[in-house]
Amino acid sequence: MITIKAKKEIRAMREGGQILAKIMDELERKIATGISTQELNKLAEELVFASGGTPSFKGYGKDMGNPFPATLCTSINSEIVHGIPSEKVILKEGDVLNIDIGMCYRGFHSDMARTFGVGKITAAAQKLIDVTRQSFWEGIKNLSAGKMLSQYSKAVQNYVEKNGFSVVRNLVGHGIGKNLHEDPSVPNFYNKKYNDVQLVAGITLALEPMVNEGTYETVLGSDGWVFKTKDGKLAAHYENTILITKKGVEVLTIHPME
């Protein structure tokens, strides 16, 4: 069931989203060759708790017997999403790093992701990051109360594919609010099997294009969490929590400087 957020709930999500965006900004400043993904995770957890929130991801999946062990997802190069931070994973020059973070604040979740280059990266890698980010913005141009959600999906897919990349098919965005994952599912590609939704003001969504350099096909890692590109090529991810309004979209997890 899709939930419509009340004004008080929207205020909580707006405040939480801004805090989360500032945390992401702090994490970006920390990215450098020679540091571990666990160092980033430790900083993220400290910042989340210091802000009055709790991590959304840590412990997620415990009902299935495989709880996610960290505050961040840190996915590198051919890893698309859900990479687990580790002291053994050290960032190196040229890496493509996706940081995904969620926080529960005043009873409501926010979720966002950004992909960064570590040091100097190739022009091809930078194009992948740029196209992935822009595909989100192309998609939300088409959203407002009264519009169909599939207009977002079509716009993202069209922009990604005309730039020579592919959209992951088996991972999608989602509704968000009191729960991290709520209805509806939001594909970044058009497929009739997903029930289309006519949007109304007050719906909150986590929209997250996941884009591969090569094939859209994926493989699941042995840890049961990380998804990787099947062909070993690069992947990028960009996500924001957004609010549907009568006039369009309010992005709740955007840093003012961004």
The H-assigned helical ranges of the chain are 7-30, 37-50, 123-140, 150-162
**Which residues are paired to 244 by β-bridges?**
249
**Which residues are paired to 198 by β-bridges?**
148
First-to-last alpha carbon distance for the chain, in angstroms, is 33
| pLDDT exceeds cutoff 80 at 194 | no
H or E element at residue 73: strand 72-76
Domain residue ranges in the chain:
7-251
Q: Which CATH code is given to the segment(s) 7-251?
A: 3.90.230.10
CA atoms within a 13 Å half-sphere pointing along the CA-CB vector of 160 = 35
Write out pLDDT tens, residues 72-104. 999 999 999 999 999 999 999 999 999 999 999
H or E element at residue 29: helix 7-30
Enter the pTM of the model. Answer: 0.97
- Residue 87 burial by Cβ neighbours in a 10 Å radius (0-12, 13-18, 19+): exposed
| pLDDT exceeds cutoff 80 at 258 | no
User: Among candidates 32, 33, 70, which has minimal Cα distance to 48?
Assistant: 70
Q: What is the C-alpha separation between 209 and 154, in angstroms, rounded?
A: 12
**Which residues are paired to 227 by β-bridges?**
81, 220
Write out pLDDT tens, residues 232-249. 999 999 999 999 999 999
